[in-house]
Chains A and B, each alone.
Chain A
Amino acid sequence: MDIKITTPLSKEELIKLHSGDYVYISGTIYSARDAAHKRMYETMEKGEKLPFDIKDNVIYYLGPTPAREGQVIGSAGPTTASRMDKYTPRLLDSGLSGMIGKGKRSKEVIDAIVRNKCVYFAAVGGAGALLSKCIKKSEVIAYDDLGTEAIRKMEVEDFPVIVVIDSKGNNLYETAVEQFLAKEVEK
């Protein structure tokens, strides 16, 4: 099913999303990948304030290429989510609503998704030029010294993603492959 949603995402909206839904996201999302996650985690450990309010917000695991003149951003596809697994449960327990990435998540992350009724979305890996067209504004708001790994506040319009892990813990990476195999056997 195709669904349109706008950030920030409340728990009521999140529980309506199901593994396998094709979703178009509009609104503000934030980019953060490896180095930014490490720093955010350390900031939280010290009891200090994060550079943006993560409550009900969505983080996109992204490190874009530089924008050419006249472009909002360069190539902007998802990076592998599992490298953020170490830091993710803590962010979800602190109010983060959703994540956009690609690839498998750990059991700890899936437990935290269910515990907090959150959603893990996947964007198509290796489609960075296409995805960049849905990003209408982009501004570095923190950790500028990290270059491509800085935190960006981005306005997106109909950014295409697929719900992989929903708030009940259903995991499309497992079910889609099982369903495909079952269908092929039938044939």
Chain B
Amino acid sequence: MRSLHTDEIIKNVREMCIEANLQLAPDMTEAIHNGLENETGNLARQILGQLEQNMQIAKEDKIPICQDTGMAVFFVNVGQDLHIEGMSLTDAINEGVRQGYTDGYLRKSVVKDPLLRENTKDNTPAIIHYDIVPGDKLEILIAPKGFGSENMSKLYMLKPADGEEGVKNAILQAVSEAGPNACPPLVVGVGIGGDFELCAKLAKKALTRNVNESSKLPHIKEIEDEVLDKINHLGIGPGGLGGRTTALAVNIETYATHIAGLPVAVNMCCHVNRHVKRTL
């Protein structure tokens, strides 16, 4: 059986926290650039230009792209033939977050109790979603999530009779309500199906998919394309100040659901859609 020591996990998580906050993946920078090329309005172009400049400065001067360096959200696939040595895997991930957010000069944005609101001062605890998968590898994906956009997310428990139209309207409604608050241009993560909590998790997972990639399911891809086009005709635009580039992508993930239900979750993300994946 393959063994992996938690020291190795801590070291990698630490680096991933820092990397994710200083640089976006090429698919995101390309999508922002395409948005700029496609805009005609002066203000919209100016804002998208600022976003490009901002990414350049972030990379060169090691200043986080955005001051909201987020809550550290993880999707972790644990190979069922892997043996983890050292401390508990959850403790190791949290230790990596602690080190990454401290050594990387990232913002500590987590309060211990949602009502008492005392800052934990090291950005822990992280939010970790585990999956057990075949094999002997550990796949870690970090997606630091800012809350300006998180706060504009929605969960709708639709009826089966609402169908495809109901789903499309729900997504459009969520984006319209978010308007300028979620720092457009947005990436819209959508979950359809499952139950109450899985649906929301699917929506978050959808945000980690490459923005150039469509759903493999033809009927879902059609919804992604149609809704993206409709969103970009809402006029919200970069910074919510008018324009064509309201969203860069609509990514939908689906799961089986109950005969009585059609849950739809819309997890809003800004243009600072960060994610880094490593396999150990």
Which positions in A face B, CB cutoff 8 Å?
Answer: 22, 35, 62-68, 71, 74-77, 79-80, 82, 102-104, 122, 124-133, 146-149, 160, 162, 164, 172-173, 176-181, 184
Residues of A within 8 A of B58 (CB): 75, 129
| A–B pairs, 8, beta carbons within 8 Å | A22-B46, A63-B109, A80-B151, A104-B180, A127-B53, A128-B66, A130-B57, A148-B108
Q: Are A68 and B54 in contact (CB under 8 A)?
A: no
Asked if residues A80 and B181 are in contact (CB atoms below 8 Å), the reply is: yes
A62–B67 CA distance with the chains assembled, in angstroms: 8
Given the interface pairs A173-B240, A181-B235, the reply to whether A129 lies near B64 with Cβ below 8 Å is yes
Q: Do the beta carbons of A128 and B54 come within 8 Å of each other?
A: yes
Residue of A nearest to B58 (CB): A129
A129 near B51 with CB under 8 A, answer no
In this complex, what residue of B is CB-closest to A176? B242
Closest Cβ–Cβ distance, residue B138 to chain A (whole Å): 29
Residue of A nearest to B106 (CB): A65
Taken together as a complex, chains A and B put the C-alpha atoms of A181 and B271 apart, in Å, by 22
Report yes or no: A126 in contact with B180, Cβ–Cβ below 8 A: no
B residues with a Cβ closer than 8 A to A are 41, 43, 46-47, 50-51, 53-55, 57-58, 61-69, 105-109, 117, 119, 121, 148, 151, 179-181, 183, 233-237, 239-244, 270-272
Contact A75 B66 (CB under 8 A): yes
Assess whether A127 is in contact with B50, with CB atoms less than 8 Å apart.
Answer: yes
Q: Which of B105, B119, B241, B272 contacts A74 (CB 8 A)?
A: B105
A145 to B: closest C-beta gap in Å: 9
List of B residues within 8 angstroms of A131 by Cβ: 54
Complex: how many Å from CA A170 to CA B181?
18
Majority DSSP secondary structure for residues of B touching A: loop
Minimal Cβ-Cβ distance residue in A for B148: A80
Please determine whether B180 and A122 come into contact, CB atoms closer than 8 angstroms.
yes
Say whether A67 contacts B43, CB under 8 Å.
no
- Given the known interface contacts A103-B240, A176-B242, the answer about A65 and B69 at a Cβ–Cβ threshold of 8 Å is yes
B63 engages A102 (CB within 8 Å): no
Tell me if B237 and A180 are in contact (CB < 8 A): yes
Distance in angstroms from A75 CB to nearest chain B CB is 4
Whether the Cβ atoms of B63 and A75 lie closer than 8 Å is yes
B179/A104 in contact, CB under 8 A: yes
Residue among B69, B107, B239, B242 making CB contact with A179, cutoff 8 Å: B242
Q: How far is it, in angstroms, between the C-alpha of A80 and the C-alpha of B240 when the chains are bound?
A: 12
Kindly list chain A residues whose C-beta atoms are within 8 Å of the C-beta of B183: 102, 125-126
Chain B residues within an 8 Å CB radius of A130: 50, 53-54, 57
Query: With contacts A103-B180, A173-B180 known, what are 19 further pairs, Cβ within 8 A?
Result: A65-B64, A68-B63, A74-B105, A74-B107, A79-B68, A80-B181, A103-B240, A104-B181, A122-B239, A124-B50, A126-B54, A129-B55, A129-B61, A130-B53, A130-B54, A148-B109, A148-B119, A177-B240, A180-B235
In whole angstroms, what is the CA distance A65 to B100 when docked? 13
Chain A residues within an 8 Å CB radius of B68: 63, 77, 79
The minimal Cβ–Cβ distance linking B68 to chain A, given in whole angstroms, is 7
A74 to B104, CA, bound (A): 11
Closest to A177 in B: B235
- How far is it, in angstroms, between the C-alpha of A172 and the C-alpha of B44 when the chains are bound? 13
Instruction: Tell me the nearest residue of chain B to A103, going by C-beta.
Output: B181
Query: By the criterion CB–CB under 8 Å, are A127 and B107 in contact?
Result: no
A residues within 8 A CB of B244?
A: 184
B148→A103 contact, CB < 8 A: yes
